[in-house]
Amino acid sequence: MDHYDSQQTNDYMQPEEDWDRDLLLDPAWEKQQRKTFTAWCNSHLRKAGTQIENIEEDFRDGLKLMLLLEVISGERLAKPERGKMRVHKISNVNKALDFIASKGVKLVSIGAEEIVDGNVKMTLGMIWTIILRFAIQDISVEETSAKEGLLLWCQRKTAPYKNVNIQNFHISWKDGLGFCALIHRHRPELIDYGKLRKDDPLTNLNTAFDVAEKYLDIPKMLDAEDIVGTARPDEKAIMTYVSSFYHAFSGAQKAETAANRICKVLAVNQENEQLMEDYEKLASDLLEWIRRTIPWLENRVPENTMHAMQQKLEDFRDYRRLHKPPKVQEKCQLEINFNTLQTKLRLSNRPAFMPSEGRMVSDINNAWGCLEQVEKGYEEWLLNEIRRLERLDHLAEKFRQKASIHEAWTDAMWPSLNPGKEAMLRQKDYETATLSEIKALLKKHEAFESDLAAHQDRVEQIAAIAQELNELDYYDSPSVNARCQKICDQWDNLGALTQKRREALERTEKLLETIDQLYLEYAKRAAPFNNWMEGAMEDLQDTFIVHTIEEIQGLTTAHEQFKATLPDADKERLAILGIHNEVSKIVQTYHVNMAGTNPYTTITPQEINGKWDHVRQLVPRRDQALTEEHARQQHNERLRKQFGAQANVIGPWIQTKMEEIGRISIEMHGTLEDQLSHLRQYEKSIVNYKPKIDQLEGDHQLIQEALIFDNKHTNYTMEHIRVGWEQLLTTIARTINEVENQILTRDAKGISQEQMNEFRASFNHFDRDHSGTLGPEEFKACLISLGYDIGNDPQKKTGMMDTDDFRACLISMGYNMGEAEFARIMSIVDPNRLGVVTFQAFIDFMSRETADTDTADQVMASFKILAGDKNYITMDELRRELPPDQAEYCIARMAPYTGPDSVPGALDYMSFSTALYGESDL
């Protein structure tokens, strides 16, 4: 710290021993101070028509010292003594020293006697104190003062110049470039800076001192040779000389202050415009993605195969897992950016941001809601289609199996070499048959009718299955219908032929003899038994589809019941075979011509035994199929329980967290920073829960792959969990952003924590539904509770009131605020006219009413300074006073000035200033 500036505010004079030590260390300093201080004093005394020659002699009588103080202060001192005696001189010097002390300067070890006696050290010290108080003390740059402020001013003014690095008030000035740079920065026409050389300090110093004396009215206070020839020039002499430059350019300093204000305002506007552009782009991209995605989800064209539909389901899973989550984050970030932008606009006294048509946050939310609605319908359609295809595949297989069995029966030879049932019914063998043969044919026909009746149920089943396939829109319905029609036509034809043959046989029945009853009995018992075996084989080979343990258990029970009938069936088989054996025994005994044959049926004992063996083989196969399906259903049940157990934990957890966040957002525990830290820790714990959601997604995929469509173990679906999780992430992010904006508002507006707590308490009191917003009437009541009086005058605002005033206000208003004033307030806190007031908008309003912010008038005044008090400004002036990017920003947006005093290229800074604050169009 400088030895004459040890106490910058009150004490400008160092102890005498410090002054002595300084002068003893370097006598060259005394020479520099004599010259500099003398020239400085004369620069002021000449205004009174006088000067000094010898600094320690000419101030001894106190007269010129008092005159100097009157000139530099603009005040009158006490009347001096005109006598020549020592006492008169001491009196005058004391009057001067008393005046210096009255300006807050504490003089140490300096008395009138030393000045009157011509003490060089004390005289120089006194003059330095005067210089420090009246030439340097008031210099301030960015809240610094005196020496530091002057040094910062020099550093800023010389920063663009090469080979100049001002770090102090001694050796940084030895090469003269610092003085030249200060002159060139403010008066570039006086010095050709480009021709100066760092290795020629004498030329540089003399150039600067001569130009300053000739053009800037700054007397030459130092010799270039003294500065160059001294290892460390005197700091006080340099400071005194440099302060003269500062005061000479004080008008430029005002311009710099004005430029700084304008730069600050423009920077806010540029940042806000960039945020607006970013919002518009992000909103457009998100809406475009939704616009492209919805048609894909609305495409409900079904596929014909299960594989194709499974691929559609897999594509949908990829969309939910990979493509949608980043868009959820973008939507949340969009809302956060919008809220932050509105907060910054309010804090900078700018109008609220209104996104372009169709890109409001509400538009994004509406489009997102449509997307989720279509998405839900698409998933339901996929699962329904898969169920439908599964059912179709099962029915188609059953149709083919029953149709094949029926066609095989229809095409089978009956009873001997005649192909097919129709061919048999068309025979006219009865015309040449004997009586016994006719009777046999009649019995045979009765057996056939029994067989035909037994197949009636299967034909009806085939038709019913075909009808169901049609109703379910089976892709191969034409071939199914053709085959079914062929079977039905053939069945009708068989019925007609059967009836016709019976009528023919009955006409000749009277001519026939009794047919062997044993064959007839065999045929009658063999046919139903054979049909039973065919039905059993059909049932044992029948495919099945089940979705629950109960269903497979039902099939298993039915199968066990079927197996229980096998012993009785085996007895029937042995009885039928016994009839055949009895026939053989009779034929062998009585030598009947038809031995070894049965005219009533084609069912042979070998065929019965073969089908019986087949039935016995199919039983264990059915056992195995049911066992495997039972195991699969048990596995599916485990998947259901596993998913249900997790979902029953995650679902309530998400709901609990949502409620806790809601409580945090309305409670007041600690400072806003404490709340923000708490919320961020809370957010971290929520994000750390994500693996459980992913695990549940994996279990859900296993369930879908297993074609499980219901789950009695939980009421939560994966869709519920997904939506809840996304809402939880969005809510915590919004809540954090709200607190950050509150901190931003508090710091920008100077709101204390106690005020913030009071605002929050009032807001929460009227937010009775804990929605985080207030309706108009709730908001009005909240303002009244804070003592905000709104009458019919739109500009009336009394601020905070004491209890009695507040009570009187309520009575006088009847709790009814003026509509005009309240409408004005609502336009501020609810610019988008949503009908609700958020806490952020509430504290913005409460703080902005008394906030000291930049205004259009202040910016306009700053431009007026840069323009030299003109009503317009030129491009050259903007480029000279402002940074390049901000100068071009103004030039691109300022309208041409059209006033009567306009010149070519004049720009209108007034309309530009009002436009910055939304008072006109930019």
Residue 31 has a pLDDT of 86
Task: Give the Cα-Cα-Cα angle 288, 292, 296 (nearest 5 degrees).
Answer: 160
Residue 419 has a pLDDT of 55
Residue 251 has a pLDDT of 64
The answer to whether 745 touches 840, Cβ cutoff 8 Å, is: yes
Report the half-sphere exposure of 728 (CA within 13 A, side-chain side).
Answer: 26
- Span 271-392: which CATH code? 1.20.58.60
Residue 888 has a pLDDT of 92
Per the DSSP assignment, residues forming a β-bridge with 11 are: 7
What is the C-alpha to C-alpha distance for residues 896 and 872, in angstroms, rounded to an integer?
A: 9
Average pLDDT for consecutive 10-residue bins of the chain (922 residues)?
A: 36 37 60 90 90 90 90 88 88 90 80 88 89 78 73 89 91 93 91 92 94 90 88 90 86 69 83 89 92 90 81 87 90 90 85 90 92 88 82 80 82 55 77 70 82 83 85 81 87 85 69 57 87 88 82 88 91 89 70 59 88 91 88 87 91 90 71 85 89 90 84 88 90 87 78 72 73 76 65 37 35 47 76 78 67 72 87 90 89 92 92 79 60
Beta carbons within 8 Å of 698's beta carbon, 6+ residues apart: none
| Residue of 98, 97, 235, 218 lying closest to 174 (CA atoms) | 235
Beta carbons within 8 Å of 500's beta carbon, 6+ residues apart: 425
| Residue of 900, 890, 903 lying closest to 860 (CA atoms) | 890
Alpha carbon of residue 304 to chain centroid: 40
What are the residue ranges spanned by the domains of the chain? 27-254, 271-392, 415-603, 637-741
User: Virtual CA dihedral for 476, 478, 479, 482, nearest 10 degrees?
Assistant: 160
What is the C-alpha to C-alpha distance for residues 323 and 317, in angstroms, rounded to an integer?
A: 10
The answer to whether 64 touches 58, Cβ cutoff 8 Å, is: yes
Domains 27-254 and 637-741 share a fold: no
Would you state the CATH architecture of domain 637-741? Up-down Bundle (1.20)
Q: How far is CA 165 from CA 174, 331, 706, in A?
A: 11, 51, 77
Q: Give the tokens for residue 138.
A: 């008031």
Please, where are the H alpha helices in 4-145? 16-25, 27-45, 63-73, 86-102, 112-116, 120-131
What is the C-alpha to C-alpha distance for residues 587 and 518, in angstroms, rounded to an integer?
A: 11
- Residue by residue, DSSP assigns 731-793 as HHHHHHHHHHHHHHHHHHHT--HHHHHHHHHHHHHH-TT-SSEE-HHHHHHHHHHTT----SS
Residue 587 has a pLDDT of 56
Residue 325 has a pLDDT of 93
The CATH number for 415-603, chosen from 3.50.50.60, 1.10.3720.10, 3.40.630.10, 1.20.58.60, is 1.20.58.60
Q: Which helix (H) or strand (E) holds 882?
A: none
Residue 284 has a pLDDT of 93
Residue 854 has a pLDDT of 67
| Residue of 774, 881, 752 lying closest to 826 (CA atoms) | 774
3-class DSSP assignment, residue 208: helix
Residue 812 has a pLDDT of 37
Overall CATH class of domain 27-254: mainly alpha
